[in-house]
Amino acid sequence: MDGEKGQSDLFDSILLADERFRGEGYQEGFERGAHQGLQNGRRHGASHGARLYSEISFYYGFAITWKCLLQRNVDAKSRKRVKVLEFLLRLIQNFPLDDLQSSRLQEDTENLRTKFRQVCSMLSVPADFKDYMKTAEDISF
Amino acid sequence: MSWVKAMSSSGEDVFDENADELGLLSKEWASNMKKRIRDGYVDGIDAGEEASLQLGFNLGFKEGAKQTMAVSRLRGIVSAISCWCQTEHPENPIPASVIDLLQQVTQHEEQIAERIRNTLTNPPPSVSDISENMEDLEVEQTDPGCCGGKCKESGCCKGAAKMDLDHPRQPSQLCSGSTGCSTSSDEGALNALLQRCMDLVSEMGLPMELLGHIQELKDM
């Protein structure tokens, strides 16, 4: 009986050693992977964040300036334009930039682009400032 | 008495064979355990990367956003002024000062975007990459000595990997080049462009309200 027990202990310890060694390796690998993932994610995030904010900030600067320039005019056409610009500015301010995993993000970006094009058309200026419209990329992994 | 000699020598052979077998078993054990560590390590890297990728992405997203926000908004402002000149005074060419400022702002924005792109395609070598390379080189050299039968200690075969883990870097320390962070010269260049834009607004007699919108970009 003792012998059998001893043998089963031996097998247990062999199996445990197997798991223990694997677990130790896993732990070290995990820490390293987490570090790498953070770095890689961060670089990709920076690239996406820079692009998206660049586009939206451009729209904002463009719209707020036109609003300031047109506000002095009292004619109906200018007032209508100011209203449309204010709508675009509100859209930008409510843009869900804090929630990157939001399913709305892509949709809202497209919506913003469409509205910007409409604003340009209303102001009779070409909307080809940059190739923003060409890129429609995912905002998360 | 030659048979005695034969017996004793064959006895020695048998004993040696046992010793070899023990040695082999020991080697096999060590190599198996080393393999377990490696298997675990590889799985751990995948799991760790998966777990932190989105976190890093979100962090980087904010950093990237911060770098382009002000300059891109300024480009929007100057573009609008340029368009306004064109529609208000179609008979006159757009003032050279406006065209020049727009070019400068666009160039500055491009430089920032280019730097971020470069960081993405050619990530700066990190301490962990270097130590990983060293580890790769060392694995072949230390293998025979390290796991040649004497070593069953768990710490033995992982020295090189541990080396990096002993010095984990904090996110705040990663900024030097990891996401193409903005520099003080960027800030200086942006402030100069903002000032030029404010001067332009005053010179052209544009609404003073615009100055506030330009001014606020300094604190972004």
Q: What is the pLDDT of residue A37?
A: 96
Looking at per-residue confidence, does B174 or B129 come out higher? B129
Q: What is the pLDDT of residue B171?
A: 42
Q: Is B124 on the interface with A (CB under 8 A)?
A: no
To probe the interface with A, which of B72, B84, B87, B213 has the most A CB atoms within 10 Å? B72
Closest residue to A57, CB basis, from B32, B48, B76:
B76
Question: Which ranges of B89-121 does DSSP label H, i.e. alpha helix?
Answer: 96-121
Which whole number is the average pLDDT over B56-79? 94
- pLDDT tops 60 at residue B157: no
Mark which residues 117-136 of A lie under 8 Å from B by CB: 123-125, 129
| Cα A129 from Cα B73, distance rounded (Å) | 13
The phi, psi pair for A121, rounded to 5°, reads -65, -40
Q: What is the pLDDT of residue A80?
A: 94
- pLDDT tops 50 at residue B165: no
Looking at per-residue confidence, does B139 or B201 come out higher? B201
Q: What is the pLDDT of residue B185?
A: 78
* Ranges of residues in chain A whose predicted pLDDT is under 70: 1-7, 130-141
Mark which residues 133-152 of B lie under 8 Å from A by CB: none
Looking at per-residue confidence, does A48 or B151 come out higher? A48
Angstrom CA distances, B3 to B9, B10, B12, B93, stand at 10, 10, 14, 117
To probe the interface with A, which of B58, B61, B81, B120 has the most A CB atoms within 10 Å? B61
Looking at per-residue confidence, does B163 or B116 come out higher? B116
Q: What is the pLDDT of residue B142?
A: 41
Contact B76, B109 (CB under 8 A): no
Band the pLDDT of B141: cuts 50, 70, 90: very low
Q: Tell me the chain B residues in contact with residue A32 when contact means C-beta distances shorter than 8 Å.
A: 41, 44-45, 48, 128, 161, 164-165
Q: What is the pLDDT of residue A35?
A: 96
Looking at per-residue confidence, does B176 or B37 come out higher? B37
Which residue from B minimizes the CA distance to A32? B45
Q: How far is CA A107 from the centre of its chain?
A: 12
Looking at per-residue confidence, does B18 or A91 come out higher? A91
CB contact under 8 A, B61 and A33: no
Band the pLDDT of B62: cuts 50, 70, 90: very high
CB contact under 8 A, A58 and B80: no
Q: How many Cβ pairs within 8 Å bridge chains A and B? A: 274
Q: Is B178 on the interface with A (CB under 8 A)?
A: yes
pLDDT digits (tens, 9 = 90+) for B77-135: 999 999 999 988 889 999 999 999 999 999 999 999 999 989 888 877 765 565 556 55
ipTM: 0.82
Q: What is the pLDDT of residue A85?
A: 96
Q: What is the pLDDT of residue B12?
A: 52
